[in-house]
Every structure is written in structure tokens, then in C-alpha cells.
Structure 1
Amino acid sequence: MFVEALELFKIMMVNPFVKPDNYTYPSVLKACGGLGRINDGKMLHAHLTKAGILSSDVVVTSSLVGAYAKCTMFNYAIQLFDEMLERDVACWNTVITCFYQDGQCEKALEMFDEMKKAGFEPDSVTFTTVLSACARLLDLERGKTIHGELMRSDLLYDDFVCSALVDMYGKCRCLEMAKAVFERMPQKSVVSWNSMVAGYSLQGDSVSCIDLFRRLIVQGVKPTLTTLSSLLVACSRSADLRRGKFVHGYIVRNNVEPDIFIGTTLIDLYHKCYCVQSADRVFEKMPKTNVVVWNVMISGYVTLGHYFEAFELFTEMRNVGVRPDAITLTSILTACSQLGTLGQGKEIHRSYIEGKLDSNEIVMGALLDMIYVFVIGSLSSIKSCDYYSGHAGETSH
């Protein structure tokens, strides 16, 4: 109840008989971070600096670092951390997480090493974050090293740590190790099931994914949208229509409200399996405010050679006010090149130069491909005309 906490704190601040102490501030800072109220956090920062509390209380300072991180003010969080004379595990975790969330995974792993050199013992939060960094970097060797450190600690059976291990091994395509960690887990939460399913999904192994799904249901674990999305991705990658329909049937029978990932993956699955009508039905039921939904339909039509349907959908997309992006243009320009409609391709290119999409490498590649196809076609026509003209001349002679 972050709002209520801050309201109470404001009343407390004007109360002449009671003042906040070092136990109050961490809770208030947590509320600021939870609500994303960076201005309140900065005001509190100024107050704490004037009162001399930041230099004397590591818990309060660590909480302020956490508040800045929650508000995605990573630079402020890291700068404050660098100025701390005394640190605790919580602030190390916050800074490691800052680097990870900012996409600086190598830096997160560097901070992990510095934390250990400084004599701090990593906890479950630390290991979960650094294993996630290894997964994002696809750094299997570093992940194995961290796994070795875990073998010597009491955190090997922590659910979040094990799930991160499974996820890391899965993303690094080391499924035997992922399975070994997963099967040793005494309690398997839906997070760990999802990590394992996602690992097989990356390989397009729909058989193993569905086997895991059946086990998950038997053990009474309720699948999430992430579970279902990973299952459908596996079926789509392997063009496994039968198992894909099984998952779709589960979604319908259990009144699961599909999100955009499930909807678009279903469309992709049906297109890959040449079930255009099924893809159309899924598309009709989806909200059409997101360009991704239109892209997957247009791309599917183009892949199957239904170029006129792709053009119709492209026109409808613009009519409802959804702005095409680079992926849309790439698909529709491919259709132009296949139909030989250079004029229409030029018109599409001209219409979206203002959106600066012409500088996109993918769009430029599609444009070049269209022009190349047109030029080759024109040259072929000219050669054919020359051939027949020559023979006609021979005949007349």
C-alpha cells in the first residue's frame, strides 16, 4: 500500500511531536520506488543528505540506491553506490541488477566478481541475476563456473536460482544439464517449468514441450501465458499442427484470454502449416491496434504466395490508422517484387520516407531486391524481343 504509506509519511513530517528515524526511511523509499515517484525520491535524497543520514546509515543509503533503480534511474543508483563508504549485500545486488536491466551484462558479471573480492557472500538474488546475465550473453562456460560455486553453497536448491540455472542452460542449448538441474529440484514452481519448456522450445522440440506440459498439468501446476506461448513457439518452429491444435484447444477450453504473443504465434503456426482459414479466424478475434498483429498476418500471406491478400490487409491496416513499420514494408515490398509492380513499390517507398524507414537496412534490402527482380525481368523481356526480332528478320530474308 505504497500510496497510503507516503500519505502517512507526509502527515508524520508535519507532526511536531514525532519525527521519522532510520527505520522509517527505508520503507518510504521502497514506496517511492514501487510507485516510480522519482521526484519524491529526489526530495527525500536531499533531506537525507542535509540530515547527514546517508553517510552514517548503510541500510538507508542502500534503500535509496534501490529506489533509483526501481525508477530506472540507473546512473543515479550507480553514482550513489560509488560514493558509499560502507556497503551491504542488498546494494551490491541492486547495482548488479541495474547493469543487467540496462543491458550491460558483462558489467554485471564484473560487479559480481568485485562483490566477492570485497568479502561479501552472494545470496539467491545475486546468483539469479548473474545467471540471467550469462543466459543473455550465451556464456555457457561462465554459467558453469557459477554453477560450480553454487555446488559449494546452500542455495543449490533455491527455486529461483535453480530456475535461472535451467534457463541459462536452456538458452545455451545445453539441454541435458538443464534437465539434470530441473529433475533434481524437490519443488518445481511454474517458473522452473517455464524455463524448461522454453529450453526445448528454442530447439523447436514440440514433443518434449508437450510431454512437460502434460506432467505440469498432472502435478497440479497451473500454466501461465508464458508456458502456453513457449509451447506454441515450439509447435510453430517444427510446423507441428497436431500438437499446436492441442495447445490451442486447451486455451479455448480453459477460457484463457490470449495475449499478443499467443495470438501472433498461433497465426504463425497456422500459416506455416498452410491452414490459412484458421490463421484468419485467430486474427479476426484479436485486437488490431498493434502493428505486430498485422505484420504476422501480412508476412504469412507473403510467405504462402498470397500477395493480393497481403496488399488488401496492408490497405486495411492503413485505413484503421495503424502505422506500418520496417517489417511491414519489408513484407509488402517482397510482394511487390514477386508481382512485378514496381510502380506500387515506389509509391509505398515514397509514402514512408517521411518516417525515415528508408534508411532501415531491412527495408533497403527489400527495395534493392524488388528493383533487382524488375531489372532482371526487363532485361529478359528485351532479350526475348531481340531474339524474336532476329528470327523474324531471318525469315523475311
Structure 2
Amino acid sequence: MIHATTMARLYFKMLGRGDFVPNSYTYVPLLGCCAKMGCAGTGKKCHGQAVKNGVEGVLPVQNSLIHMYGSCGVVEIARMLFDEMQQRDSVVGDLVSARNIFVKMPEKNVAAYNILIVGYVKGGNPGAGLKLFRNMMSKGVRASSRTMVGAVMACGRSARLKDGKSVHGFLIKNFLESNILIDTALIDMYSRCKRVDVACKLFGRIEVKNPVCWNTMILGHCIHGNPTDGIKLFEDTLGRLRSGNSGKKKRKKRKRKGLVMVERRDVFPDEVTFVGILCACARAGLLEEGRNYFSKMTSSFGIKPNFTHYWCMANLLSEAGVVQEAEEILRCMPQDDDMLSSYHHRTVAVGERIAQSLIEKDPQNFSYYQLLLNVYAVAGQWEDVVRLKDVMKKKKIGRIPQCGLIDLNDIVHRLRVSDIWQEEMQIAQGSN
């Protein structure tokens, strides 16, 4: 492996020749090498160069700087850089580095615990987040509202009803007053744990509900409970907001092209709402209603459908037996949407990973191959479809399926909806 000082010397030599223009990609491997070798001095020089070239604010560079300083034991600077970040990705460099920074902190305050708990939840390891919360409680660190939201989210993400009830009990005993963020997290947790009835009771007790709260309860019904209840709540919510009766306290509202404005920055319904509504229509077999809602997204509410909405519509059409139309809607999706690409690649990649994992556990299960074929078909990866069908023929795995889209519903439910809800929660919480 090239030593950090050698790599840095090469960098400065190239810089001195005048034919080398460094960018954000230059500093990520440089800082990574410094982190592995524990060279804080060289890392600081690279940090200075990143500032000089105006790339210190680029997310991968920020993550690499935090990782480097944390690995070199300069925890104070790592923490300072993290606090100054305007945007934080789900890994913050990587969870191992974040954990190393945390372990080396001489004093661990509530903010440090909060960062790592939320990092574990976002990084797909809610169990570790819950374990860290218990550790925090055993150390006597006083939890904040953000801590409790993270703990409740960890229970919901891992569908641990018993732990969720325990955290809820802790809330009742130790927090004199609840708030909209904690209540919304509890509604989501109970919904994910298939106790939508409890979520409904909590929802009914909230006097003033914000759009994130409405969305969470609507999606709770649509995805985890009775889908028609979710659609009814959606329609009731629109009626209440338009009449200004969203709670005991009156809130200012104004209309714009069919949108219902609640406060200054909140809009209802939004793209999250319609993911739930379209999923509900698919679950309940409401073909015409689904088509109507899909159309109204743009015509009445000014919401541009993204990949997830098209995918949900394809599921609805497929389940209703209109397979040709399902294929057509996917084939005709607009390709100029920046968000479309990220949704597409992330959802397909995770869906492929899930299906392949299931096949490894049970190589003769026909439905798992069906699921993987669905993923490839929606992605337009027809070479993979042909390849997988050949594999199935050789292994004599049942009949060769026609790549229907029914099983993709579960992928959309488990991945995209939860990500959107968490992003909204973070926006609502701000930087606290």
C-alpha cells in the first residue's frame, strides 16, 4: 500500500507541474490513505488543499475528512466538521468510522448518541440503534425528543413490537408532555408492527396534526392495515384542510392550483401521500380509483409522478389483469427526471439483492425466481431476464413465468415509503 506521505508528495509534485487540476475525486482517496495510515499531519495538509480548491463542502470529501480525523484520533475536529455539515448522508463516511469517533469521545453527550442512533437506523441496522439507546439509558444520559424519535423509529424499522411498547412506556413515565414528532414516530412504529388500531388511537389524540402526521397515518392504513380506511382518511383529510378544520387551533391556509397549504412550508398532499394511496388501490383492487388518483396527482395537485408512482401503478394494473397496460406505463415513463434515475437504480439494486438472497436460502422456490424476473423486467434488463430463464430451465424450476409485476409491490412498500417518511421527519426536526 502507498504510504500517505508518499501519496501526498506525488499529489504536490503533480500540482507543481501546473498540468493537474484537483477536484473532489482527488481528495477522497488521499484522505482515505491518511486515515488507514493514521497520518493526521498529512491529512491536515490535504484538508487545507481541499479548502483552497473549494471542494471541502462536497459530501464525499466531508465524509472522508470526518473519517480521516476520527481514525487519527482527532475527535474534536471530526465532531466539529460533522456539526457544520449542511447535508448528512445515511452513512456519514461509514458507520464503523462514526462508531470509532463515538468510542473515542471522552464525554458522550446526548447529541453524540443521537447522531449514531439515527445513523444506525438510516444505515439499515435498527437493532444496533436500539442497543445503543439502551446503553445510553444505562449510562444515565438524559434523552431528548430526538433520541426518543430515533429509538421509536428503530423499533418500527425492525418490527419489534415488544421493544416498541417498552420505549412507549418509558416515554409515558419520563416525558411530561409529548410532541408531534414523537407521536408521529409512534404512529409509524405501531403501523409497521401491524397494530394499526393502536396507531389510530394515538392519531386521534393529537389536537393539531401536521402533514407528516397525516401522511404517516394514511400510509399506516394503506400499507399495513385496511387500504380502504387509508383512502377514506385521505379524502376526509382533504375535506378538513380545505374547510380549515384540521384541529382545535385554526391555522392559516391558502390555495394554489389545487394544493392545500398548511403553514408556510408544508403542503398536503404530496408525493408521499400518493405512494400510499396508489398502494392502497393496488391492495384493494380499485383499478379505476387508482387511475383517477394517478391522473389527479398532476391535474389537481401539481405533483409530478416519479418512478415509485409509476411502479405502483404498474402493480395495480398487473393485479387487475391489465398486464399490457402495466408494461406500457413502465415503457413510457419519462426519462428526463433526475429523481427517476436514483429511485430506479436504488430500488432495482435492493430488489435484486432481496430476491437473490431468498433464492440462496431456497434454490427450488419458484416464487423467488418470479420476484427476480419481475425486478429485471421492470428495469428493462432483458438480457438478465433471458439469462435467468435459462437458469430456471436447467434447474427445472417450475413453469417459466411471464414477468408479472405483482410481487414488486412489497419492494416499493418496504423501501421507498420508509425512506420518504424518514426524510420528512428529519426536515421537521431541523438540526436539533
Q: How many residue pairs are counted as aligned between the two chains?
A: 286
Q: Measure how far apart 1:115 and its partner are.
A: 0.5
Q: Tell me which of 55, 61, 72 is aligned to 2:93.
A: 72
User: Does residue 1:267 correspond to 2:314, yes or no?
Assistant: yes
1:184 alignment partner in structure 2: 205
Tell me which residue corresponds to 2:156.
135
Q: Which residue of the partner structure matches residue 207 of structure 1?
A: 228
2:190 is the counterpart of 1:166 = no
User: When the two structures are superposed, what TM-score results if normalisation uses the length of structure 2?
Assistant: 0.56
- After TM superposition, give the deviation of residue 323 of structure 1 in Å: 2.9
| Deviation at residue 158 of structure 1 after TM alignment | 1.9
Which of residues 292, 295, 299 in structure 2 aligns to 1:246? 292
Q: Which amino acid aligns with 1:129?
A: G
For the structure 1 residues 119 and 364, does the alpha-carbon distance in structure 2 shift closer, same or farther, using more than 3 Å as the test? farther
Percent of aligned pairs with the same residue?
Answer: 23
Change in CA separation of 1:123 and 1:32 when aligned onto 2, cut-off 3 Å: farther
Q: Which residue of 1 aligns with 2:119?
A: 98
Residue of structure 2 in register with 1:198 after alignment: 219
Quote the residue 2:41 is aligned against: none
Cα deviations across residues 350-379 of structure 1 (Å, max 9, x unaligned)? xxxxxxxx5xxxx589852149xxxxxxxx
The root-mean-square deviation of aligned C-alpha atoms, in Å, is 4.0
CA contact (8 A) 1:62 1:88 kept: no
**1:41 touches 1:68 (CA, 8 Å); kept in 2?**
no
Partner of 1:368: 397
Contact kept, 8 Å, 1:201 with 1:209, in 2: the verdict is yes
Q: Which residue of 2 aligns with 1:309?
A: none
SS in 2 for 1:103: coil
Give, as a single letter, the amino acid of the residue that structure 2 aligns with 1:243.
Answer: E
Gap change, CA 1:59 and 1:148, over 3 Å in 2: same
| Secondary structure in 1 matching 2:397 | helix
Change (3 A) 1:116 1:45: closer
1:35 and 2:59 equivalent?
yes
* CA shift for structure 1 position 280: 5.4
TM-score by length of 1: 0.61
Shift of 1:99: 2.4
Structure number with higher relative contact order (C-alpha < 8 Å, ≥ 6 residues apart): 2
Q: Does 1:226 align with 2:272?
A: yes
CA contact (8 A) 1:225 1:258 kept: yes
- List alignment gaps of at least 5 residues for structure 1: 4-27, 296-313, 334-348, 350-357, 372-397
Please state how far the C-alpha of 1:279 moved relative to its aligned partner.
3.4
Q: Aligned equivalents of 2:313 and 2:223: distance in 1?
A: 16
The range that moved more, 97-106 or 256-265, is 97-106
CA distance in 1, matches of 2:67, 2:102: 15
Query: Displacement, 1:169?
Result: 0.6
Partners of 2:106 and 2:68 in 1: CA distance: 22
Of stretches 237-246 and 226-235 in structure 1, the one that deviates more from structure 2 is 237-246
Which protein shows a greater Rg?
1
Which of 174, 178, 183 is residue 157 of structure 1 equivalent to?
A: 178
Aligned partners of 2:394 and 2:145: how far apart in 1? 46
- Contact preservation (8 Å) 2:67, 2:93: no
Q: Indicate if the aligned counterparts of 2:149 and 2:181 stay in contact, CA closer than 8 A.
A: yes
CA–CA distance in structure 2, aligned partners of residues 178 and 225 of structure 1: 22
Deviation of the 1:103 alpha carbon: 2.4
User: Measured at CA, do residues 87 and 266 of structure 1 come closer, stay the same or move farther in structure 2, by a change above 3 Å?
Assistant: same
CA distance 1:250–1:210, shift in 2 (3 Å): same
Q: Is residue 218–residue 276 contact of structure 2 (8 Å, CA) maintained in 1?
A: yes
Runs of 5+ consecutive residues of structure 2 not aligned to the other structure: 1-23, 25-50, 242-259, 261-266, 336-340, 352-372, 401-432
- Cα distance per residue 1:320-372 (max 9 Å; x no partner): x953486x459x84xxxxxxxxxxxxxxx2xxxxxxxx5xxxx589852149x
Contact 1:32–1:67 (Cα < 8 Å) also in 2:
no
Q: 8 Å contact 2:67–2:98 — kept in the other structure?
A: no
Say if 1:265 and 1:159 are closer, same or farther in 2 by CA, change over 3 A. same
Give the C-alpha shift of residue 186 in structure 1: 2.3
Q: Give the AA of the match of 1:35.
A: L
Contact kept, 8 Å, 1:131 with 1:146, in 2: the verdict is: yes
**CA 1:116–1:270: 2 relative to 1, 3 Å:** same
How many angstroms apart in 1 are the aligned matches of 2:331 and 2:182? Answer: 41
Q: In 1, are the aligned partners of 2:298 and 2:305 still within 8 Å (CA)? A: no
AA matched with 1:274 = G
Q: How far did 1:42 drift?
A: 5.2
Mapped contact 1:155–1:161 kept (Cα < 8 A): no
C-alpha deviation, 1:245, in angstroms? 2.8
Mapped partners of 1:47, 1:79: distance in 2? 10
CA distance in 2, matches of 1:40, 1:175: 43
1:279 paired residue number: 326
Sort the Cα spacing of 1:77 and 1:205 in 2 relative to 1 into closer, same or farther, 3 A: same
Structure 1 residue 284: deviation in Å? 4.9
Query: Residue 204 and residue 248 in structure 1: after superposition, are their counterparts in 2 closer, same or farther (change >3 A)?
Result: farther
Say which SS state the counterpart of residue 282 (structure 1) adopts. helix
Letter in 2 for 1:151: I
Which of 107, 117, 124 aligns to 1:86? It is: 107
Between Structure 1 and Structure 2, the one with more helix by share is: 1
Contact 1:210 1:243 in 2 (8 A): no
User: Residues 235 and 80 from structure 1, CA distance in 2 versus in 1: closer, same or farther, beyond 3 angstroms?
Assistant: same
After TM superposition, the structure 1 = structure 2 runs for residues 14-25 of structure 1, keeping only pairs within 5 Å, are none
The structure-2 alpha-carbon separation of the partners of 1:33 and 1:45, relative to structure 1 and needing over 3 Å to count, comes to: farther
